[in-house]
Structure 1
Amino acid sequence: MSTAPAPARTTPGATPGATPVPVARVYRFEVVKLVSQWRIRLMVLACCTLPGLFVAAVAQQGTLPSDTLFGRWMHATGWAGPLVVLGFAGSWALPLLTSVVAGDVFAAEDRLGTWRHLLVAIRSPRRIFAAKALASATVLVLLVAALVASATAGGLAAVGDGPLVGVDGHRLAPSDAAGGVLLAWTCALAPTFALAAIGLLGSVLLGRSPMGLLVPALTAVAMQLAQLLPLPVALRLALPGYAFVAWDRLFADPAHLDELLIPVAVSLVWAVVATAVAYRLFLRRDFTNGSEDGGERRALSAGVLPLAGLLALTFGAVAVATPSTGSGITQAKVQQEVSTVFAHLYRLQTEQLHRPVVTEERLRVTSACDRGDGHVGPKGPGNDWRCVVTWHLPGVAAPGTAVYQLDVAPDGRLTADGDGPKEVNGYFLVRTPHGDAPNPLWQFDGQLALLSPSPR
């Protein structure tokens, strides 16, 4: 008795017995197809020119974007420019780039009705998906590289290669600043890939609908709004968008690497999971049905629910791994950060005025901070913090004092605005032997270590 062989399984749209086209060839084809689009070429041109022109133009202005991190230092060093651009790019430019590049990569084939031709030519849906995903990632990396190269060139050409003042007031040598800029932009690739993977998922789920273009941008906006809320630290770090703002931890001494590496790892996990879900849904599609167009129920069950479950899992994992589930903002941390930044910047002001050199240790800076004139508990974010800073100069019996009004953001960034005395922090300029210069103590930024225990 003979047993008939089982029929061979064939991929939809593929010719039985045909050899699939190698992924490398399909990848090159998809890259060329993406770059040939007018909107991609326009974005390449914009990324290569606009950041450099913006940084060079702002550096020549009398008014700087002091409300932006590192914006107040754009007159001092060219390395501040690419960091200002990174702050803007993380909020708007990079989500827009991922929407245009990855949010339409599958939906375009649905609108043009070219799936059957593509499957006949390549003979493997798996290789089609891999090539499209890799091509999207490649184009995004090239666009990010153009952004950082343009911004850096514009800053160095307009201002020069000077030292950079970090978020805690200490100065970084030009070589250290260059390494920090490169590493900060590299870390920003992780949330960019996460948004790109969500864009791939939206493009697969929504079919020929152009709504797939909006999925990465809307996701980024939702994560930005969430970061404005007083969330627990563990939940804040579990959102992939937090890596867009956590890069400033690289410019503290010591660097708060745990608050950067955790959101970067979370972003990469989101990128892998969202891509895997999109891959699975793509292989289950019926390419013989030209009306295949996604659906709200399928989008909810197959797209939104897995990502919601991933958010719950990452939140639980971060909560277990980190010591803090509150806001991470305490009175002791605010006082320590204000004292540290003030000591570094006071030394910088001393050098500007050509006064005798004094070290941070000899200044013995302390701060006394409260909220709402003592009517509000001294913890958590708010714009009603007030600090009185005290320091001691060698050989001077009376200590010096200065007052600051503070705005502490939910992500731990603080902005201090000097409130007197005038000769210390009450005016934005100081009179030096070489003319007026920006007063480093007038306004300054700081970054609280949300995960570290409160100092005693």
Structure 2
Amino acid sequence: MTATLADAPATRAEPGSKGARRPVPVARVLRFELVKQLSAWRVRLLLLLCWLGPGLLVFAIDQQSTLPSDTLFGRSMHATGWAGSLVVLGLAGTWALPLVTSVVAGDVFASEDRLGTWRHVLITVRSHRRIFAAKAIASVSVIGLLVAGLAVSGILGGLLAEGNQPLIGLDGHLLTGGDAAGQVLLAWICVLAPTLALAAIGLLGSVALGRSPMGLLLPMIAALGMQVAQMLPLPVAVRLALPGYAFISWNGLFTAPQQPGPLLIGIGVSLVWAVVATALAYALFVRRDFTNLSNDGAGRRALTVGLLPLVGVLVATVGVVAIGTGGGGSGITQDKVQRSMATAFANLFPYQQAQMRQPAVDPTQFKTSAVCSKSDGLGAQEGPGNDWRCTVFWGAPGAGVMAQAVYQVDVNPNGRYIADGDGPIQVNGYFLIINDGKPTPNPLWQFDGNVDLLPSH
């Protein structure tokens, strides 16, 4: 039986005749594939780790005095339970989700090559299309179950550790517990799109490379390559055109107003990659010659049908994003950094004063502005780097002079930055604030922010 003769035994016989042998329904094949997937020890181990690991990790980290301050929302883990889930989300996009897609989707077809069971499966099911559909749906279902475990476990671990407390957003504004819950759930839903893209790449690698271990590792290699690319000073159009950008662009959900543009583009690009990679995997699968036992799918066709179309998709999406957004360069400009710093400080200052039991500060009573420079004003005043320096000015209520605070700012290529207080010490120096008997660091000492990479209109 060859792929080009798929379904031929079932379609040539007259309907209702004794010789007609209908292919096995997709639902039955799907149940079989789900049982087979969930019976594998690797998948069972992943289920255990995904449903228990994040919660235990968040709870254990919360009991420590040192927090992962270099991780987004890491320094807020002692303040609210929602920060722990966002830390898990950041780590999942970097490590857990690529691993999950590799183990599940990257092995779903290759396992049949290793075990030599293709002939049995084809004779039993009698439909290449139904085999492919069942295996793809089963893989996505198991991956969805694993992602749900990561989300639920991280949320429960954080809530058990710190409870449903308000969360400080990436522009300093305070989200209530209910608002934070909605945004956290939405962020987890948004990363399903790039996860589907990696799963589709895993299906393609599993079909194209057969029993080769490279098929199993392909989603992880693709994810690693996209992570490295995001750390480089790439043009914003190239950055947004990579499907992995949706793993980090959920940051824009935690600003006011929100920054949905990069996130929506990242989701759209990821879905395009998922559809194209799945279609390529299907095209390779139905054309494969299963009568040749030495042919496990690897070869020239894997390059021409599998890799080159994805390169074409990348080039096309870069062009579409560049034309559609009008974005050029890094997307990080002096004006954007200044506006973001001024907004974050203006939102955090009243919160700090309330924590210190000082008289309430009305933000409308004073104007806040920021002056930022890169490399001490030498060279182009744009782009990422740890050499940004910002001075924030604000008019203190009841005073006739403008107060100021200095920050060293490290801006990442993806627009996220960390502002580190550099004086005066009584404003943004490191000191603990005792609130309800619990010491917390000064919120103006260090804080995270986010620059929208798309042009502002």
TM range (shorter): over 0.9
1:165 pairs with 2:168: yes
| Cα displacement (A) at 1:378 | 1.2
Any conservation in 2 of the 1:12–1:288 contact (CA below 8 Å)? no
Counterpart of 1:220, as a letter, is: A
| Cα displacement (A) at 1:105 | 0.5
Counterpart of 1:197, as a letter, is: A
Any conservation in 2 of the 1:13–1:119 contact (CA below 8 Å)? no
1:103 match: secondary structure: helix
**Which residue does 1:354 correspond to in 2?**
357
Runs of 4+ in structure 1 over 6 Å off: none
Any conservation in 1 of the 2:288–2:297 contact (CA below 8 Å)? no
1:265 pairs with 2:260: no
Aligned-partner Cα distance in 2 for 1:120–1:316: 46
**Which residue does 1:63 correspond to in 2?**
66
Any conservation in 1 of the 2:369–2:393 contact (CA below 8 Å)? yes
1:162 match: secondary structure: coil
Any conservation in 2 of the 1:341–1:446 contact (CA below 8 Å)? yes
**Which residue does 2:255 correspond to in 1?**
252
**Which residue does 2:366 correspond to in 1?**
363
| Cα displacement (A) at 1:218 | 0.2
Deviation larger for 106-115 or 373-382: 373-382
Choose from 436, 440, 444 the match for 1:441: 444
**Which residue does 2:6 correspond to in 1?**
11
Counterpart of 1:232, as a letter, is: P
| Cα displacement (A) at 1:362 | 2.1
**Which residue does 2:427 correspond to in 1?**
424
Aligned-partner Cα distance in 2 for 1:312–1:165: 38
1:369 match: secondary structure: strand
Choose from 283, 286, 290 the match for 1:283: 286
Counterpart of 1:178, as a letter, is: A
Any conservation in 2 of the 1:12–1:287 contact (CA below 8 Å)? no
Q: Percent identity at matched positions?
A: 61
Aligned-partner Cα distance in 2 for 1:186–1:204: 28
1:288 match: secondary structure: coil
Aligned-partner Cα distance in 2 for 1:433–1:160: 15
**Which residue does 1:196 correspond to in 2?**
199
1:53 match: secondary structure: helix
Aligned-partner Cα distance in 2 for 1:424–1:296: 64
Choose from 214, 218, 221 the match for 2:221: 218
| Cα displacement (A) at 1:208 | 1.5
Deviation larger for 441-450 or 431-440: 431-440
**Which residue does 1:379 correspond to in 2?**
382
**Which residue does 1:3 correspond to in 2?**
none
| Cα displacement (A) at 1:434 | 4.8
2:278 match: secondary structure: helix
Counterpart of 2:189, as a letter, is: T
1:54 pairs with 2:49: no
Structure 1: stretches of 5+ with no match in the other structure: 1-8
Which string of whole-angstrom CA distances, capped at 9 and with x for unpartnered residues, describes residues 180-210 of structure 1?
Answer: 1111011101000000000100010111212
Any conservation in 1 of the 2:432–2:441 contact (CA below 8 Å)? yes
Choose from 134, 137, 140 the match for 2:140: 137
2:257 match: secondary structure: coil
Aligned-partner Cα distance in 1 for 2:281–2:445: 51
2:380 match: secondary structure: coil
| Cα displacement (A) at 1:24 | 1.0
Counterpart of 1:373, as a letter, is: D
Choose from 230, 234, 249 the match for 2:233: 230
RMSD across aligned C-alpha pairs, in angstroms? 1.5
Any conservation in 1 of the 2:167–2:176 contact (CA below 8 Å)? yes
**Which residue does 1:76 correspond to in 2?**
79
**Which residue does 2:308 correspond to in 1?**
305
Aligned-partner Cα distance in 2 for 1:237–1:10: 41
Superposition TM-score, scaled by structure 1 size: 0.95
1:40 pairs with 2:43: yes
| Cα displacement (A) at 1:11 | 2.1
Structure 2: stretches of 5+ with no match in the other structure: 13-19
Any conservation in 2 of the 1:81–1:151 contact (CA below 8 Å)? yes
In structure 2, relative to structure 1, the CA distance for the partners of 1:156 and 1:431 (3 Å cut) is: closer
